[in-house]
Chain A
Amino acid sequence: EDQVTQSPEALRLQEGESSSLNCSYTVSGLRGLFWYRQDPGKGPEFLFTLYSAGEEKEKERLKATLTKKESFLHITAPKPEDSATYLCAVQAGGSTGANSKLTFGKGITLSVRP
């Protein structure tokens, strides 16, 4: 069974204080690892997809990296508007279809104080 564990559960940062969010996973045949951002009461907003170990992607103050067992979301010099819940999900490859389900972690709630 695919599993995703995110840590820490919550993170409070001062504006400008860089940090990293962790996502550990076990999956039979990784097709993709996804990071989403979710604001309270809203649907998840897609950030990144990583497909193979060693891959990195960047968007503004965010950088996602992937190894064979975990992914990190690095936040550089965060601003209060970066406050949200960050969700990690894995998708397994398989014969059931090209659009396999996403298995999510519980998310990390990030608060950035001005």
Chain B
Amino acid sequence: DAGITQSPRYKITETGRQVTLMCHQTWSHSYMFWYRQDLGHGLRLIYYSAAADITDKGEVPDGYVVSRSKTENFPLTLESATRSQTSVYFCASSGGGTSTNSYEQYFGPGTRLTVT
């Protein structure tokens, strides 16, 4: 299916466990992003990637690791999950480039993560 997908959609894990959230897009977009959404904070950028093998920190990167070995995939890993990382995680992609719509982001359906 075309578009942007995330897995799992729901995850419950324990404090201290490592967990990886997957994101896959079929548009060959250059840019990919990970956000978390919490009440009172809105969407906050965790990490982003401008292309394969190029990643950079966003607003709230601590406790997270990303990689991007292929253009279409952008996994997010919580190395040692904490309760404060309970949140809804959204992956997004955008085309990049210089056209007027190159900065428009398209979001995946989200992963609801609960850390107990």
User: Do A and B make up one complex?
Assistant: no
